[in-house]
Amino acid sequence: MMIRTIVVAAVAAVAAALPGSVAAQAPSWSPEQTAVWTVVTQSWADEAAENGRWPGGYVHDGVVAWDASWPLPRYKATIEKWTRFSDAQRQILQYELTPAAITIAGDTAVVHYATVTVSQRAADAPKREMSSSIETLVRSGGTWKFLSLSSFELGKDD
């Protein structure tokens, strides 16, 4: 009986400490990190809205992007061309971004985050995709702009 009481007390102590531990893992960002994350989230909002703002002013003129769906890196003009094509072919129905890390050194920021998107092409069934992104932003004229974009698939849920 004594051992059972000790085990129950230990489990209760761990359970009571857990919410505090989980909350402590939430990011405590500096104003600069918050500004960088705001650019990332706003760029996604504009891309999902298909309002023509992405990539536009969000990307640096020297931007380069590469992911598993392309044989070679792409540059600004190609990113813009394929974004417009994609906008005409599919619609993002829902998305969620989950930040993992943001580090800043001077005027350079590196952002790691995960995404879950649900998109649909024409009459096809909605498609759910998960990926991780690693993006580099540079501060130019007081504004954060994407310099490098890369992502990789986390899994499929067809």
Give bridge partners of residue 97 from the DSSP assignment. Answer: 115
Instruction: Give the residue-averaged pLDDT of 24-49.
Output: 87
Per-residue pLDDT, averaged over 44-48, amounts to 94
Residue 5 has pLDDT above 50, yes or no: no
In this predicted structure, the answer to whether residue 24 has a pLDDT above a threshold of 70 is: no
Tens of pLDDT along 79-122?
Answer: 999 999 988 899 999 999 999 999 999 999 999 999 999 999 98
Residue 81 CA to residue 79 CA, distance in Å, equals 6
Instruction: Tell me the domains of the chain and their CATH numbers.
Output: 27-157 (3.10.450.50)
What pTM, to 2 d.p., does this model score? 0.79
Tokens representing residue 122 in the block: 């024409």
Q: Got the DSSP string for 83-141?
A: HHHHHHHEEEEEEEEEEEEEEEETTEEEEEEEEEEEEEETTSPPEEEEEEEEEEEEEET
